[in-house]
């Protein structure tokens, strides 16, 4: 294979009459690329990977330098036979799979599967392009190269590590929980993040606090008013200290004091604030914004983006690729795209809107990093031109990408800001308002948080102005826990912690959803009972696999392999022995633990056997051990030894339709009592209402009561 990876590329510029074969990944690209290259080029598709590790066994020779044993993927035989026929007719073969590690590995596997390294009469080249346009494809032919084995080795290492984790750990889950479950290097770390967040939320104890606003008149005018917000106290030395009132009694005392106090303006500050234009999209930020603005799942975003990248049919124009490559963590923009965006913005919006650096002539060497940000391939193709040409879902995502890219090349938005401080006795109030004075990039792209605010502060307001108190408004609040992850916030957290890469975010979330380890309700992600069991087992037996720092460090090592600074076999040599030892210990330890198929006192009414506890997609259920002869099954209600505070019947562990755990009454649907946290046997001594267990604390379910106390040892243990 070395010959194929080291051939020189000068021949790409000569012998134009030779027959050329271009092999891409997706059939959707074939038609788009074929029209760019002319009759001397045949274009075909590998339809993804053609070789992989075998499904029936580990496929890695751990006794002989961890050599992977690749085989032809089942069902790809006819495709490879067709490719070999096309290779025979060609003089020059260009491997044009996707421009990332996975694409590099597919090209490497094609060389082996088609035996291209054995054909001395063939010229074999690797080409990449970040956008499927005529210029990009033509340019890639001029810059044809050999296979980058550093990228291939990084992909091989990821594949082997994931195979080792999946094939060594998953059978333990099958034996102890249920068949069909899986463990994964990245998915287990993501599941741990969701489980940890839910534990934080369950243990969170809200604290009461209050806000106080004062409505004031300026110059005794009922029409010219100003609302200010309580900030804190002013000390004897005149310095302000932020303070948050904690009770209604405290607030009422403040209101009584303020009713007699004079209000005056102690300070007015005016300034200008700028809001920088956003960066163009990466895979992560595209997934996050598509979730927030379009309510797309990560999987839907990537599916539609793939269509826009490969090319869509546009009436009157044929197949057109609309965006650049969709798997990237770079915000770099090519010289050509910078020039075209500058010309577009100057013509469409004017010089004031174009970023300063874009007004200057750009020269010098081109930036050499492989990927660009996600952007439109043709900035002049406005979304409005595609309104009736492509499906609505594609149009909405293209519009989001187009607007974000155009905005990224524009000047910041500017705001006039006025900040006012008002003093009354020892209380300090503040008001801050802003007015948009130059919209800049917001003429194209604006988030909900960036809506324009009107400046209603009176021009007659001056320092030392006397104000008249019209009214005060106090509001009770309770501190809130961190919100449940959404797909968007989970992707952001995975990116921040270095877990996974652009190509893995969506598949990771899709996998743990498909396995029913988590469920999605109103965009929020919740761990299911099945997910809790799997996460607890992984955390107990394989702490390093679910440790986010370990997973992030492994991603850094994969990056090092891709850069050529780390030897790929060394990473595997260091990883596997520890995994093997952990698996052996887990197998021994878990022999003592029964997680599923626990026998109960419940008698099967059909055959008389004692029914057992099993795990399904939505948690525990009772099943007859005589399956398949007896297929009796029914819900399993785990009683918690606490009476329902509404009707006195037993409280049990229940599941939502999507598998999220809660505590409800056996009398349902007649009694609708429910709680997300485990109810305590003790009633609240302050109000007589029900209490729940949060960590080592009992908390009243009524936030307005707010009573809490240490949990008794028995309930804390539960």
Residue with tokens 């029209």: 35
Question: How many Å apart are CA 588 and CA 613, to the nearest integer?
Answer: 23
In 10 A of CB 608, how many CB atoms?
Answer: 10
Can you point out the beta strands (E) in 245-402? 263-275, 312-314, 318-320
Question: How many Å apart are CA 252 and CA 667, to the nearest integer?
Answer: 43
Please, is 433 exposed, middle or buried when counting C-beta atoms within 10 Å of its C-beta (0-12, 13-18, 19+)?
A: middle
Residue with tokens 């992560």: 284
Spell 461-470 as b/e; 16+ CB within 10 A means b.
beeebebebe
Taking Cα atoms as reference points, which of 104, 141, 108 lies closest to residue 21?
141
Taking Cα atoms as reference points, which of 58, 226, 80 lies closest to residue 576?
58
Instruction: Verify whether residue 325 is a known catalytic residue.
Output: yes
Residue tagged active-site, from 230, 296, 325, 485:
325
| Element containing residue 319 per DSSP (H, E) | strand 318-320
Question: How many Å apart are CA 497 and CA 546, to the nearest integer?
Answer: 13
Taking Cα atoms as reference points, which of 475, 481, 477 lies closest to residue 205?
481
Whether the bond into 193 is cis, omega within 30 of 0 = no
Q: Mention every residue, 6+ apart, whose C-beta is less than 8 A from residue 503.
A: 100, 102, 283, 327
- Which 8-state DSSP code applies to residue 349? T
SS3 488: helix
- The interaxial angle of helices 298-310 and 283-294, nearest 10 deg, is 110
C-beta separation of 386 from 345 below 8 A = no
Question: How many Å apart are CA 495 and CA 284, to the nearest integer?
Answer: 7
Three-point CA angle 36, 37, 43, nearest 5°: 105
Question: How many Å apart are CA 500 and CA 515, to the nearest integer?
Answer: 19
Bridge partners, residue 526, by sequence: 519
Bridge partners, residue 475, by sequence: 211
Question: How many Å apart are CA 662 and CA 656, to the nearest integer?
Answer: 7
Question: How many Å apart are CA 627 and CA 361, to the nearest integer?
Answer: 76
User: Given the DSSP bridges, would you call strands 427-438 and 20-24 parallel, antiparallel or unpaired?
Assistant: unpaired
Q: Mention every residue, 6+ apart, whose C-beta is less than 8 A from residue 507.
A: none
Question: How many Å apart are CA 141 and CA 313, to the nearest integer?
Answer: 25
Taking Cα atoms as reference points, which of 468, 437, 396 lies closest to residue 219?
468
C-beta separation of 97 from 91 below 8 A = no
Question: How many Å apart are CA 281 and CA 401, to the nearest integer?
Answer: 7
C-beta separation of 410 from 345 below 8 A = yes
Its sign, for the CA torsion 340, 346, 349, 351, is positive
C-beta separation of 20 from 298 below 8 A = no
Q: Give the active site residues.
A: 325
């Amino acid at each position: 294979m070395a010959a194929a990876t080291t051939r020189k590329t000068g021949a790409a510029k000569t012998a134009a009459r030779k027959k050329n074969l271009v092999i891409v990944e997706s059939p959707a690209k074939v038609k788009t690329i074929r029209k760019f290259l002319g009759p001397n080029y045949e274009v075909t598709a590998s339809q993804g990977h053609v070789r992989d590790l075998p499904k029936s066994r580990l496929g890695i020779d751990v006794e002989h330098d961890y050599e992977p044993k690749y085989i032809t993927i089942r069902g790809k035989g006819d495709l490879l036979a067709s490719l070999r026929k096309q290779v025979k007719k060609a003089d020059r073969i260009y491997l044009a799979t996707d421009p990332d590690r996975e694409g590099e590995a597919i090209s490497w596997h094609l060389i082996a599967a088609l035996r291209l390294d054995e054909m001395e009469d063939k010229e074999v080249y690797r080409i990449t392009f970040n956008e499927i346009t005529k210029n990009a494809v033509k340019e890639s032919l001029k810059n044809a190269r050999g296979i980058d084995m550093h990228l291939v080795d990084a992909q091989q290492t990821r594949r082997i590590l994931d195979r080792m984790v999946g094939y060594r750990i998953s059978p333990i889950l099958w034996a102890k929980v249920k068949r069909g479950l899986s463990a994964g290097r990245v998915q287990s770390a993501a599941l741990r993040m969701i489980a940890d967040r839910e534990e934080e939320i369950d243990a969170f104890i809200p604290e009461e606090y209050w806000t106080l606003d004062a409505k004031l008149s300026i110059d005794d005018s009922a029409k010219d008013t100003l609302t200010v917000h309580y900030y804190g106290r002013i000390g004897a030395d005149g310095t302000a200290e932020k303070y948050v009132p904690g009770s209604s009694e405290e607030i009422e005392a403040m209101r009584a004091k303020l009713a007699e106090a004079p209000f005056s303006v102690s300070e007015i500050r005016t300034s200008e604030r700028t809001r920088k234009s956003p960066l163009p999209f990466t895979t992560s930020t595209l997934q996050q914004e598509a979730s927030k603005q379009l309510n797309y799942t990560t999987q839907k975003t990537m599916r539609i983006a793939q269509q826009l990248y490969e090319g869509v049919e546009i009436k009157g124009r044929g197949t057109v690729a609309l965006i650049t490559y969709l798997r990237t963590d770079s915000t770099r923009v090519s010289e050509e795209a910078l020039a075209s965006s500058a010309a577009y913005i100057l013509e469409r919006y004017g010089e004031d809107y174009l970023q300063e650096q874009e007004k200057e002539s750009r020269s010098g060497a081109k930036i050499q990093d492989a990927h660009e940000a996600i952007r439109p391939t043709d900035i002049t193709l406005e979304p409005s031109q595609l309104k009736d040409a492509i499906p609505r879902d594609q149009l909405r995502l293209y519009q989001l990408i187009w607007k974000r890219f155009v905005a990224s090349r524009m000047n910041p938005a500017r705001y006039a800001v006025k900040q006012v401080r008002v003093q009354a006795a020892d209380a300090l109030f503040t008001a801050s308002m802003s007015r948009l004075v130059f919209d800049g990039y917001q003429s194209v792209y604006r988030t909900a948080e960036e809506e324009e605010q009107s400046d209603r502060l009176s021009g007659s307001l001056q320092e030392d102005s006397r104000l008249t108190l019209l009214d005060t408004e106090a509001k009770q609040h309770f501190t809130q826990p961190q919100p449940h992850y959404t797909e968007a916030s989970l992707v952001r957290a995975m990116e921040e912690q270095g877990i996974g890469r652009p190509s893995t975010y969506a598949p990771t979330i899709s996998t743990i959803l498909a396995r029913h380890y988590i469920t999605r309700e109103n965009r929020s992600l919740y761990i299911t009972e099945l997910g809790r069991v799997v996460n607890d087992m992984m955390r107990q037996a394989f702490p390093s696999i679910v440790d986010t720092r370990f997973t992030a460090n492994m991603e850094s090592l994969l990056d090092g392999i891709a850069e050529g600074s780390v030897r790929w076999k060394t990473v595997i040599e260091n990883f596997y022995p520890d995994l093997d030892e952990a698996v052996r210990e887990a197998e021994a330890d878990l022999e003592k633990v029964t997680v599923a198929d626990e026998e109960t006192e419940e008698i099967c009414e059909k055959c008389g056997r004692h029914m057992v506890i099993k795990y399904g997609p939505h948690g525990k259920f009772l099943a007859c051990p005589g399956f398949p002869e007896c297929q009796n099954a029914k819900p399993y209600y785990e009683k918690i030894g606490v009476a329902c505070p509404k009707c006195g019947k037993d409280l049990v562990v229940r599941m939502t339709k999507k598998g999220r755990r809660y505590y409800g009454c056996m009398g349902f649907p007649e009694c609708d009592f429910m709680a997300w946290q485990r109810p305590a046997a003790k009633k609240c001594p302050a109000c007589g209402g029900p209490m729940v267990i949060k960590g080592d604390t009992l908390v009243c379910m009524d936030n307005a009561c707010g009573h809490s106390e240490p949990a008794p040892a028995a309930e804390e243990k539960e």
